[in-house]
A = this chain, B = another copy of it.
Amino acid sequence: MRFLFTAALFAATLYAQRGVAPYYEDTNNVPVSPEIQADRKVTFRLFAPKASEVVLMGSPGILEFTKKPMPLQKDDKGVWSLTIGPLPAGFYTYGYAIDGGLRMPDPSNPNLEVRRWGATSSFIVPGGEKSVIEERRVPHGTVHVEFYDSKNLDTERMVYVYTPPGYETGKVKYPVLYLLHGNGQIEASWTWTGRANVILDNLIADSKAKPMIVVMPYGHVPREIKTASPPPANDPGAIEKELLTAVKPMVETKYRVLTDRLHRAIGGLSMGAGQSMSIGLHNLDQFAYIAAFSGGGNRTEWEKADPAMLNQKLKVLWIGCGTEDPGYNGVKGMDDLLTKKNVKHIWNQSGGGHSWPNWQVYLSKYAPLLFQ
């Protein structure tokens, strides 16, 4: 069967003829990158014939797998490449630094994390202990992308909501986890990049976690923090008010969720860890579970809190951090404080840094403890 044309290819050809081509890399000359080989070596490639330097980077500040930036080498066709590994199974983020530092994602790779300071690319090396992030042919839940009208902020905002497999055809109500993202991330981050929906699908399929609804709101107030620089200060009181007076009522109206505190959890990463610790602490009548991934909380307010009350109210208080996280000492300090106060909690120290591989594993450890 013959189609008249493939317009994108057509366009590239025509514009090359018109002489605009020098300003564009050839969109049809995009090399395979990253190429994940059977032996778990990974090859990165970039077509950039005029670049003077191309360096592989890990996620911002943290080179998960090389520990240092590594230069790619150019071949005679203008394709830069570098092979590293074998890498352990898991989730990796990376990008390129061009001509002395300008960061860019890998144009060959459609798996992108959107952030306030630019996108980063990601890939998965399959197998191994982190296979909870890998999509399997099990029943899948649905991620709902919702606008909601916030009377609180007098604007519309977005929230992502995961419903477990069978939600549409069933009648039962589900417990709910409010899952908060980090600074500079967006409401899509926990699913689009973090694969929270895949993690929950896998845990539920293996009967390791109860079926639950996961609500992923936007964590910055105002919304314009996405593009403002320097970003306005994050007021955790503002996000607490938004979560409790706008997001939660919308969720409890639109979705079949249980509304007692024993069926409501909160957790988050980095900035969202701090938000979860404060919102949870301020609202023990509403949350029986709190988790902080790679982030602390307001130590002053936790110092003042009554240990007996905390131990009575909180079914799980979960704190995790990687030893290579630049904020490790702060998070460990919260663990020490809770230990000193005899507040029951789980301290999960891992390797690795301030990055998705840890947050994915932390979620896979926290979710099974909920609503049991």
Contacts and interface: CB of A to CB of B under 8 A. Distances in A.
A270 B85 CA distance: 40
B354 A11 contact: yes
A51 interface: yes
A5 B296 contact: yes
* Chain B CB within 10 Å, residue with most, of A20, A100, A147, A226: A147
B144 A15 contact: no
A332 to B, nearest CB: 11
A229 B110 contact: no
Contacts of A117: 27-28, 30, 107-108
Contact of A229 (B24, B108, B327): B108
Count of chain copies = 2
Contacts of A33: 227
Interface string A19-48: 010111101111111000000000000001
Contact of A296 (B4, B103, B142): B4
Interface stretch (A86-94, A124-132, A178-186, A257-265): A178-186
Interface of A: 1-15, 20, 22-25, 27-33, 48-52, 55, 57, 60-63, 68-69, 97-105, 107-110, 112, 114-119, 135, 137, 140, 142-149, 156, 168, 182-184, 186, 191, 197, 201, 226-230, 234-237, 254, 270-271, 274, 278, 294-301, 325-327, 330-331, 333-334, 353-354
